[in-house]
Amino acid sequence: MSDVSPAAPAAAALFEFPCAFPLKIMGRADAALAQAVLDVVLRYDAAFDGATMEMRASSGGKYVSLTCTITATSRPQLDALYRELTAHPLVKVVL
């Protein structure tokens, strides 16, 4: 019996690598959040231009969302990036 679910190959086939892949990262409004996210993203896409990061505050100003469109080169790259971002203490959600 295989450890890979039947949906895994189908999900991997949804992307044709390399591709532009937008990530939305949400966390508390903290001055260190954008730099922390940038540091992580650059480990997985060294060519990412931090000036292209979009930032939007919530209506109450308590939270902020960051959008980073990276060049995704593989499913393992995306999986590792998601794991590292979601494990960061300043990050609440990654979509």
The residues, any chain, with a CB within 8 Å of residue 64's CB and separated by 6 or more, are: 26, 27, 28, 29, 30, 33, 34, 55, 56, 57, 58
Mean model confidence pLDDT for the chain = 91
Asked if the model's pLDDT at residue 1 lies above 50, the reply is no
Dig out the tokens for 44 from the structure: 């997985």
Does CATH number 3.10.620 belong to domain 26-94?
A: no
- Give the integer Cα–Cα distance in Å for 68 and 24: 7
pLDDT reported for residue 80: 98
Residue 83 confidence (pLDDT): 98
* 33-44 vs 75-87: helix crossing angle, rounded to 10: 160
Q: What is the pTM of this model?
A: 0.84
The ranges assigned to domains in the chain are: 26-94
Nearest C-alpha neighbor of 22 from the set 48, 43, 46: 48
